[in-house]
Homo-oligomer: A and B are copies of this chain.
Amino acid sequence: MRIKIINPNTTQSMTDKIGACARAVARPGTEIVAVSPAMGPVSIESHYDEALAVPGLLQEIAKGEREEGIDAYVIACFGDPGLKAARELARGPVIGIAEAAMHLASMIGTRFSVVTTLARTIGQAEHLAEAYGMDRFCARVRACELPVLELEEPGSQARERIAAECRRALDEDGSDVIVLGCAGMADLCEHLSHLLGVPVIDGVAAATQLAESLVTLGLRTSKRGELARPVPKPYTGALAGFALGDNSGHAPHEEIR
């Protein structure tokens, strides 16, 4: 099967890391396609960044549907931007990494803490926990005040700061599982798990597994109701290319681009 992992920011080094982490857990025979959108912010650290990451993300979903034969998608940003819009476009499943990590955390422990980057993104993580029904398992969302792109800098103290915040989570929150709150932390998961002695969950790997599972089970996004393919209509201005065609069958000439 083909799983497309979309890093909604445009930083290629992060996309490469995310792709590698997904491949490391994917089943034999699964092809991982990891991409960044053609447009948007270099990192996602605000509602503004998140909103503007969505058009490029949706382009990649549309392209996946139109010409890449994708079976399932992973949205690899912990804010899970554009998840419902992506589900409307896609026939197969679409999984967010916050969604995947939180759900799995609830199955191997009783309370998890999320450790994320900037404090201003805590609200969005809390919002997602509620939207997924995972707030009852989420003891606390914690921030290291670490800008996302510092995770990409070799000499930064990112790893140490994240480890220190994880320890505080275990000491103060009564948590038994840690969820990493940024796709850019995917490569730290194994290290932190050994260091802390509790399960540490990276959403990229978690979502990859869930996407594969859903494809194996033959479960696709329900097209009955809210997640049905959007009604075609004109789009104007710089977004005119986002108009969907009238072919509910997703024919090859569909004009999404």
Which residues of chain A have a CB within 8 Å of any CB of chain B? Answer: 10, 25, 27-28, 37-43, 45-52, 54-56, 58, 82, 84-85, 87-89, 93, 95, 99, 103-104, 106-111, 118-120, 122-123, 127, 131-137, 147, 170, 174, 176-177, 190, 193, 197-199, 201, 205-206, 209-210, 212-214, 216-222, 224-228, 230-231, 233-240, 242-244
Contacts and interface: CB of A to CB of B under 8 A. Distances in A.
A231 B47 contact: no
A236 B221 CA distance: 31
A147 B109 CA distance: 23
Contacts of A58: 48, 51-52
A123 B226 contact: yes
A197 B224 contact: yes
B51 A55 contact: yes
A95 B89 CA distance: 29
A222 B198 contact: yes
Given A104-B219, A170-B224, A52 B50 contact: no
Nearest to A138: B133
B134 A237 contact: no
17 contacts: A27-B27, A40-B239, A41-B243, A47-B84, A48-B58, A51-B58, A51-B85, A52-B85, A56-B239, A103-B107, A107-B214, A109-B221, A109-B225, A109-B227, A176-B222, A176-B227, A197-B224
A48 B61 CA distance: 11
A104 B217 contact: yes
Contacts of A55: 51-52, 55, 238-239
A41 B174 CA distance: 27
A224 B176 CA distance: 5
B135 A46 contact: no
Contacts of A49: 230, 233
B224 A216 contact: no
B206 A193 contact: no
B45 A231 contact: yes
A18 to B, nearest CB: 15
Given A226-B123, A237-B39, A206 B217 contact: yes
Nearest to A228: B120
Contact of A237 (B10, B50, B109, B127): B10
A192 to B, nearest CB: 12
